[in-house]
Structure 1
């Protein structure tokens, strides 16, 4: 049975990875808290429970405020 090339395209066709940041990465970088965001995301990925990432969340919140993102994005404390 012959393989249908249209159903199984080469992984490099249409999915070429490049070093250019996408829009999401640019937005995170613009906050000045990309490192804190990455650590928070990694914590959640590993633990699958935000409640176990309180320290990482606090570091992200502190950075967010320090960088003035509350005013820039009109963020309100809950």
Structure 2
């Protein structure tokens, strides 16, 4: 095999069966937890911990750049 053929080969990404700590399913679960908190307490201020956890996970996924959201 020549050097050019080796360079042109595509190396597949490693198959990672472990879910990302902020995978979409985790984000969805965090959003559900946030919504449940609000439903139970009827006050977003009482759900700051849930909101902050969701916000940090959202940012780690790069969704703030993708959706161009801005922190207030």
TM-score by length of 1: 0.58
| Unaligned residue ranges in structure 2 (runs of 5+) | 1-22
Which residue, out of 36, 51, 54, partners 1:60?
54
Unaligned runs of 5+ in 1: 1-28
Could you list the runs of 4 or more consecutive aligned residues of structure 1 that deviate by over 4 angstroms after TM superposition? 29-32
Q: Aligned-residue CA RMSD in angstroms?
A: 1.9
More helix per residue? 2
Q: Secondary structure of the residue that 1:76 maps to in structure 2?
A: coil
If the length of structure 2 is used for normalisation, what is the TM-score? 0.63
1:2-45: CA deviation from partner (whole Å, max 9, x where unpaired): xxxxxxxxxxxxxxxxxxxxxxxxxxx85861111010000000
